Amino acid sequence: MVEYKQTVDYSMPRQCGLYPPPPYEYTHLRALIVLFQCPLDIKKRYLPPELEADKGFDIIFISEYPDTTIGPYNENVILLACKYKKKPAAFVVNIYVDTDVALTAGREIWGYPKKLCDINLFPIQNNKVRGTLTRKNIKFLDIEIDLTDKSPAIDPKTLGSIPIINLKLIPDVADNSKPVLRQLTATNLKFGEVYKTLTGKINYIKSEYSQYDICHEILKDVKNLGGLYVEADMTLPNGRLLE
């Protein structure tokens, strides 16, 4: 974790900012990655109007970050394949993290729709890797894949070529009818050294109903396309404004 002393008005609180500016470095992360296809009618329900639903593969990440610019934390990301101005992209429909710094930086800088959650990415045992998410005492996501030594069908570094799009919303303090800020943002991850990649067969994807989260709706009647396990370095750079 980088020791950060705020010298300009960058983040709140202004006298002792919670997080530093990007880029953020991630060293030797571990990630379970699942590829799936969400039904188009469900996908359209959660995409902003600027984006077009696409039949490409959707992605679930459950990641363990032992060493980052903002300290260690765990994360889950659910991306829906889409198109922006006819070009392929991925929309962040949900992100969960387990530290306040990761939550606040993600929301305030990039517009990531983050919530706090208990996240576990278990060590590999008997060639299996499992990840779980529990929030408000509900285990709303539970995934397990069988691993093989076969090279995965997707190179993790290619994921950096896909722009990750977010809808950044900041409420107006005086007017409840509209946000004071509504921005469509995009960011491209940058993968560095890849230490290990293992392909996987999905044993199960379970999503318990929760009135507080929508995973059970996103993962209803999905087509499973396989999974992989990755250990790598990654950089999260500044994003850019689309509109």
- How many other CB atoms sit within 10 Å of the CB of residue 235? 16
Model pLDDT for residues 180-234, shown as the tens digit of each residue:
999 999 999 999 999 999 998 999 999 999 999 999 999 988 888 888 999 999 9
Q: Are 81 and 56 in contact (CB under 8 A)?
A: yes
How does DSSP classify residue 98?
A: S
| Whole-Å CA distances, 60 to 35, 95, 172, 204 | 7, 10, 32, 13
What is the structure's pLDDT at 153? Answer: 61
CA distance 84 to 99: 31
pLDDT reported for residue 1: 76
In tens, the pLDDT along 52-62 reads: 999 888 999 99
- CA–CA separation, 62 and 43 (whole Å): 20
Give the max Cα distance, the chain: 57
pLDDT of residue 220: 87
| 158: pLDDT strictly greater than 80 | no
User: Residue 119: which pLDDT band, with cuts at 50, 70 and 90?
Assistant: very high
Which amino acid type is present at position 95?
I
- Mean pLDDT over 85-111 rounds to 96
| % of the chain exceeding 70 in pLDDT | 98
Pairing verdict, β 114-116 and 138-148: unpaired
Tokens of 138: 């509900």
> Alpha-carbon distance 56 to 118, whole Å?
29
In this predicted structure, the answer to whether residue 72 has a pLDDT above a threshold of 90 is yes
| pLDDT of 223 | 84
**Which pLDDT score is estimated for 23?**
97
What CATH number was assigned to the domain covering residues 24-236? 2.40.400.10
Exposure b/e, 156-179, CB count within 10 A at least 16 = b: beebbebbbbbbbeeeeeeeeeee
Kindly report which listed range (72-81, 195-204, 230-239) carries the lowest average pLDDT score.
195-204
pLDDT at 151 (0 to 100) = 64
pLDDT over 80 at 155, yes or no: no
What percent of the chain has pLDDT above 90?
79
Kindly report each contact of residues 215-220 with a partner whose C-beta sits within 8 Å and lies 24 or more positions away, as own/partner. Answer: 215/78, 215/94, 215/133, 215/140, 215/141, 216/140, 217/42, 218/38, 218/42, 218/46, 218/78, 218/80, 218/93, 218/94, 219/36, 219/38, 219/141, 220/39, 220/42
What is the residue-averaged pLDDT of the chain?
93
